């Protein structure tokens, strides 16, 4: 498939920086506009960039209607595969359009219109995609919150976004247990300030609870409606015309103050950027099967389960299950085989989980994955050992690419649709067109020395598809991202460029530790620990040391079936660090865990681990996958004292 034509990657990136007007207006031609924009960037817009002023469009129309009108209505739009229930469903573009239009009618009949907010609190079922696209169809602003999120955290998001409607289900399924959502929703509404007037419930046979159970109850004044009943009688809603800069969604991400930040995404820039990314980064187009093994509650789910594949006319997969245990470490390979997946996008932690249980990839031999042309990874730094393991086992390009909730799509990647570049383990390859990346020192001056770590910043304006702001707070937007280095967006990550222009993201800036005056990257230390053949996963962080200020402490999990004495492992890991980094690291602390504390997206909760080790007060993060793992951590620390 041909992406950007002529000149390859370097020329595409150069044009995006030197001639952004021409570059992005050309990209905008890939979207159907009701009123086409006449300029790409508003010269009077905010510093981060206001894209395609004067343009009017509808994102839901671009994801569905235009493909049906182009004669592709019979193409498969959505594959739903539940490893939890065994359910498998395929919806064509025509079928998905019908369901989205009817549910948009349900929302409209309940008073939802342009600019109104709708919270979506659903498991990984087709209705999550349908609800998001239905909001986009009528100009409502959706805010997806993980199904099963604690009631107190859901209430915080209700009070910040002020939604009039919540769309939910009776519950979600986890290995070995069910999670009932409706008591959590009722409690959250009772705790909130009263903006919610309607709750729409999708019943699931496998989880008890229904809208009828909450009608007339005292803890909430909201009206509780059954999804199936409402959809069956709804009049389909047509797509409305929206300004390019109108908000499409608000997605909450963790804030340093403990108050979540609502990242705002626009309609026009978002549609243009994601459509461009599918062809040029992932090499995916109409008819290709694309699977982002994530959750709709994360930015990956927004961008690459729901919007980008459908904007591109591809087939998207929504998977309810885990990489291991549902039923085994071959779960991902089974899905690739069953649906002839071309591109798989997941988190490094998922691949590490498979590697830990099935280090020899025995389960892979039971499935034909020849359809897979690439594996894309993001969300956590991809350590070189895991890269080599996946690359050697799958025999297709493994692409470590780097992006954030705030950017909405990749900042750095190997752009397979333009030009496949040589890979370098540990690197996210090169800046994506539109992203002008600079390495700055603590004073904001560019670091000229090749290979020297610094603060990764992006020169303003940001390209299309990135955040428009923080919901309800321009001051918080500026203080979080723009004030640290004036003229730049501060990513909060540290790293360096090599002599070929490849970016190495070494971790968050607060993951750089100071040991007796020596600044050490925890990412570099983690790379070394994963060289040990017994180590499956690890986290290194700086903990308090009365003498040196901080010291590096390692937390490791072992590959399944591996047995090694703690003192032996510690000695061998200390020797590895001395060999590869030197004695300045003063590395000596190793704790063996069965599991690392992680978020539901697979990010290791380094801050929480450090707080526990240092004996500080901490709160259980609402995004944690399993809170009991913190108790396991405390027991392991007590045993090692």
> Mind listing the pLDDT tens digit for each residue in 517-556?
555 777 778 888 999 999 999 999 888 876 667 788 999 9
Question: What pLDDT, on the 0 to 100 scale, is given for residue 475?
Answer: 80
What is the Cα gyration radius of the chain?
A: 24
Question: What pLDDT, on the 0 to 100 scale, is given for residue 253?
Answer: 85
187 and 81 inside one domain: yes
Establish if 265 belongs to a structural domain: yes
Between 511 and 34, whose confidence is greater? 34
In the chain, the percentage of residues whose pLDDT exceeds 70 is 95
C-beta separation of 184 from 217 below 8 A? no
End-to-end CA distance of the chain: 58
450 and 530 inside one domain: no
Question: Which of the four pLDDT bands, split at 50, 70 and 90, describes residue 606?
Answer: confident
Establish if 616 belongs to a structural domain: yes
CA distance 627 to 73: 44
Domain boundary among 492, 524, 547: 492
Domain boundary among 476, 492, 508: 492
Name beta bridge partners: 165. Answer: 118, 198
Average pLDDT over residues 342-354: 93
CA distance 576 to 81: 43
CA distance 13 to 391: 27
- The CATH number for 287's domain is 3.40.50.12780
Domain boundary among 459, 492, 525: 492
Establish if 507 belongs to a structural domain: no
In the chain, the percentage of residues whose pLDDT exceeds 90 is 72
Establish if 355 belongs to a structural domain: no
Residue 252: C-alpha distances to residues 31, 74, 384, 487, 622 (Å)? 27, 35, 31, 25, 12
Which of 136-145, 359-368, 570-579 is predicted with the least confidence, judged by mean pLDDT?
A: 570-579
Question: What pLDDT, on the 0 to 100 scale, is given for residue 411?
Answer: 98
Establish if 347 belongs to a structural domain: no
Average pLDDT over residues 354-365: 95
Residue 121: C-alpha distances to residues 18, 191, 385, 595 (Å)? 42, 16, 37, 27
Number of independent structural domains in the chain: 2
544 and 460 inside one domain: no
Query: What is the domain range of residue 615?
Result: 516-640
DSSP secondary structure, 481-507, as one string: IISSSTTEEEEEEEEEE-TTS-EEEEE
Question: What pLDDT, on the 0 to 100 scale, is given for residue 523?
Answer: 77
478 and 529 inside one domain: no
What is the average pLDDT value for the chain, to the nearest integer? 92
CA distance 534 to 537: 9
429 and 545 inside one domain: no
Mind listing the pLDDT tens digit for each residue in 227-284? 999 999 999 999 999 999 999 999 998 755 557 789 999 999 999 999 999 999 999 9
575 and 429 inside one domain: no
Mind listing the pLDDT tens digit for each residue in 98-117? 999 999 999 999 999 999 99
Between 583 and 490, whose confidence is greater? 490
For the cut 60, the answer to whether the pLDDT of residue 419 exceeds it is yes
544 and 487 inside one domain: no
Establish if 466 belongs to a structural domain: yes
Distant-in-sequence, close-in-space partners of 99: CB < 8 Å, separation ≥ 6:
91, 126, 130, 231
- The CATH number for 634's domain is 3.30.300.30
CA distance 213 to 186: 11
Residue 610: how many other CB atoms lie within 10 Å: 21
468 and 606 inside one domain: no
Question: What pLDDT, on the 0 to 100 scale, is given for residue 547?
Answer: 66
464 and 523 inside one domain: no
Reduced DSSP (H G I as helix, E B as strand, rest coil) percent helix, strand, coil of the chain, to 5 = 35, 25, 40
Question: What pLDDT, on the 0 to 100 scale, is given for residue 1?
Answer: 44
531 and 458 inside one domain: no
Establish if 394 belongs to a structural domain: no
Residue 548: C-alpha distances to residues 448, 517, 524, 535, 552 (Å)? 30, 8, 20, 27, 10
Give buried/exposed letters for 398-437 (b at 16+ CB in 10 A, else e): bbbbbbbbbbbbbbbbbbbbbbebebbebbbbbbbbbbbb
479 and 565 inside one domain: no
Question: What pLDDT, on the 0 to 100 scale, is given for residue 111?
Answer: 97
Instruction: Tell me the pairing of strands 488-497 and 454-459.
Output: antiparallel
40 and 110 inside one domain: yes
Establish if 278 belongs to a structural domain: yes
C-beta separation of 296 from 124 below 8 A? yes
Give buried/exposed letters for 270-284 (b at 16+ CB in 10 A, else e): bbbbbbbbbbbbbbb
Q: What is the DSSP letter of 48?
A: T
CA distance 640 to 501: 43
């Amino acid at each position: 498939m041909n992406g950007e034509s002529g000149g390859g990657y370097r020329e595409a990136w150069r044009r995006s920086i030197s001639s952004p007007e021409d570059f992005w207006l050309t990209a905008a031609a890939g979207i159907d506009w009701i009123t086409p924009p006449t300029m790409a960037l508003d010269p009077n817009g905010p510093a981060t960039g206001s894209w395609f002023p004067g343009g009017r469009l509808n994102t839901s129309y671009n994801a569905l209607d235009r493909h049906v009108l182009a004669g592709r209505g019979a193409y498969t739009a959505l594959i739903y595969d539940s490893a939890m229930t065994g359910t498998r469903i395929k919806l064509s573009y025509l079928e998905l359009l019908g369901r989205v239009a009817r549910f948009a009618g349900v929302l409209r009949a309940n008073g939802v219109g342009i600019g109104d907010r709708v919270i979506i609190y659903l498991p990984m079922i087709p209705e999550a995609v349908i609800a998001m696209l239905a909001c986009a169809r009528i100009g409502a602003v959706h805010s997806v919150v993980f199904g099963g999120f604690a009631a107190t955290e859901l209430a915080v998001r209700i009070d910040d976004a002020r939604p009039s409607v919540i769309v939910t289900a009776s519950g979600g399924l986890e290995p070995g247990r069910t999670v009932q959502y409706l008591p959590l929703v009722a409690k959250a509404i009772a705790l909130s300030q009263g903006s919610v007037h309607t709750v729409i419930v999708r019943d699931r046979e496998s989880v008890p609870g229904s809208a009828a159970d909450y009608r007339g109850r005292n803890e909430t004044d909201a009206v509780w409606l059954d999804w199936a009943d409402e959809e069956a009688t709804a009049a389909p809603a047509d797509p409305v015309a929206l300004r390019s800069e109108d908000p499409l969604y608000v997605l909450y991400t963790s804030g340093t103050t403990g108050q979540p930040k609502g990242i705002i995404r626009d309609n026009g820039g978002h549609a243009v950027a994601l459509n461009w990314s599918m062809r040029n980064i992932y090499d995916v187009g109409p008819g290709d099967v694309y699977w982002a093994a994530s959750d709709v509650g994360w930015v990956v789910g927004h961008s690459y389960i729901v919007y980008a594949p459908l904007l591109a006319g591809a087939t998207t997969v929504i998977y309810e299950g885990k990489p291991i245990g549902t039923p085994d470490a071959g779960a991902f390979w089974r899905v690739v085989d069953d649906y002839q997946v071309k591109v798989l996008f997941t988190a490094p932690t998922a691949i590490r989980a498979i590697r830990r249980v099935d280090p020899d990839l025995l389960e892979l031999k039971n499935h034909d994955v020849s359809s897979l042309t690439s594996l894309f990874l993001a969300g956590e730094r991809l350590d070189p050992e895991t890269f080599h393991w996946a690359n050697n086992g799958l025999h297709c390009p493994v692409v470590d690419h780097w992006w954030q909730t705030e950017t909405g799509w990749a900042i750095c990647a190997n752009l397979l649709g333009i030009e496949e570049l040589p890979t370098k383990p540990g690197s996210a390859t090169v800046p994506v067109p539109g992203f002008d990346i600079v390495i700055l020192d603590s004073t904001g001056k560019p670091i000229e020395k090749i290979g020297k770590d610094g603060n990764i910043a992006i020169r303003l304006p940001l390209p299309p598809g990135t955040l428009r702001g923080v919901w309800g707070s321009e001051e918080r937007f500026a203080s979080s991202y723009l004030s640290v280095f004036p003229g730049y967006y501060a990513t909060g990550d540290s790293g360096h460029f090599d002599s070929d222009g490849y970016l190495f993201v070494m971790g968050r800036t607060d993951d750089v530790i100071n040991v007796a005056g020596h600044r050490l990257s925890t990412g570099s230390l983690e790379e070394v620990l994963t060289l040990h053949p017994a180590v499956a996963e690890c986290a290194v962080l700086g903990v308090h040391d009365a003498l040196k200020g901080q010291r590096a402490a390692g937390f490791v999990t072992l590959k399944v079936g591996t047995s090694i004495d703690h003192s032996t492992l510690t000695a061998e890991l200390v020797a590895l660090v001395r060999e590869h980094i030197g004695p300045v690291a003063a590395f000596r602390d190793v704790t063996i865990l069965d599991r690392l504390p992680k978020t539901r997206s697979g990010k290791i909760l380094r801050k929480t681990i450090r707080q526990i080790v240092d004996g500080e007060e901490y709160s259980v993060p609402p995004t944690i996958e399993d809170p009991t793992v913190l108790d396991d951590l405390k027991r392991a620390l007590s045993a090692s004292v």
